[in-house]
Structure 1
Amino acid sequence: MKTEKELRVSIDRAAGVLLKHGLTIAFAESATAGRVAAEFSLACNAGKFLSGGIVCYDAKLKTALLDVPPAMIGKYTPESMQVTEAISRGLSKVIPADIHVGITGLPCPGGSESAEKPVGTMFLFAVKDGVQILAERRVFQGDHQHIVLETVRWTADLLVRELGSQS
């Protein structure tokens, strides 16, 4: 990420789109550990669109709070699109909102990284009123903090792209 200002611009654009459409949003965050919700909370009028968030870094929280089947985590790993979808959908049962976003990934070594899923791989899944609107995978380069901050910006930019196209 080039600057903190660029991050703020992305967050503010996403906040503007949410406000324009009268939408609320909630986040289930694993790899980003609440950073996305925290950054969104800094936008003006966040109380009008940000419903809340859950940090589910540990796989046990994914199963206990968000109803992710342990067998799914065992089969696909906690850092997978399947589990990211499951935390998004599970979040909808815990926090009322129009949009539920799940984020998992590998910002640093020590997870399920492999040649096909290197460190820097991040997953984002979102539903709006229960219908999938985003299912994205991206590989970022850099250190842990850089990958997390780029994921925050990417999340905001994806929301603008998806919701900005809706009338």
Structure 2
Amino acid sequence: MTVAALLERARRAGVRIATAESCTGGMVAAALTDVAGSSDVVDRGFVTYSNAAKQDLLGVRADTLQAVGAVSEDVAREMAEGALHRAPVQVAVSITGIAGPGGSEFKPEGRVCFGLAVQGNPTRVETIEFGAPGRAQVRAAARDHALALLERGISLIERKLGT
């Protein structure tokens, strides 16, 4: 589905969107806002690259960051839920990962955790291992996956509305 088609579905369903991004640095919000007229669907994007920003802007708990680290499904969940609760939106997506170069034995390059928070639904989280094709490719793949998650979130709302 194109970004324009995703935005049109959101518009028809009355859905507003927020993004909470770390390793993609705003690429999802940029992809959404590259489409003219997206301002009636896209409310805001949080770029929370540092742990302090994740805490200050999204309410990610210091305990969570200390226990599992920023690249984790727990942090992705808290980021998505924080965006949903801090913006007048129905759908929020989050991304936190290691785009590279680098990584570790426990958190390799290309590991990206995603969260999808949809009003009235349990938050979904998942981890994708993109491998190490290079920083630009990991970031682009993460952006595209987040856009697909937003499509899923819009579908959940459409089902509730019966559209």
TM bracket, shorter-chain basis: 0.7 to 0.9
Superposition TM-score, scaled by structure 2 size: 0.86
Q: Deviations over 1:6-36 (max 9, x none)?
A: xxx5423322321231200001111111111
Structure 1 pair 144–128 and aligned structure 2 pair: CA distance change class (3 A): same
CA-atom RMSD in angstroms? 1.9
Runs of 4+ more than 4 Å apart = none
Report whether the alignment pairs 1:120 with 2:76.
no
C-alpha separation in 2, matches of 1:32 and 1:128: 21
Q: Structure 1 residues 68 and 133, CA, compared in 2 at 3 Å: closer, same or farther?
A: closer
Task: Quote the sequence identity (%).
Answer: 24
**Contact 2:116 2:149 survives alignment (8 Å):** no
Residue 135 of structure 1 aligns to a residue whose secondary structure is: strand
Q: 1:164 & 1:70 partners in 2: Cα distance?
A: 33
C-alpha change, 1:74 and 1:133, in structure 2 (3 Å) is closer
| Residue in 1 that maps onto 2:65 | 73
TM-score normalised by L of structure 1: 0.84
Distance 2:4 2:123 in 1: 20
Deviations 1:33-92 (A, max 9, x none): 111101110124211110011110000111122221111101010110001111111223
Report what 1:33 is aligned to.
25
Query: For structure 1, which runs of at least 5 residues remain unmatched after alignment?
Result: 1-8
**Could you tell me which residue of structure 2 aligns to residue 158 of structure 1?**
149
Higher mean Cα deviation, 37-46 or 133-142? 133-142
Q: Tell me, what secondary structure is at the counterpart of 1:26?
A: strand
Q: Does 1:18 align with 2:22?
A: no
Listed as ranges, the gaps of 5+ residues in structure 2 are: none
Query: Corresponding residue for 1:5?
Result: none
- Does the aligned pair in 1 maintain the 2:15–2:154 contact within 8 Å? no
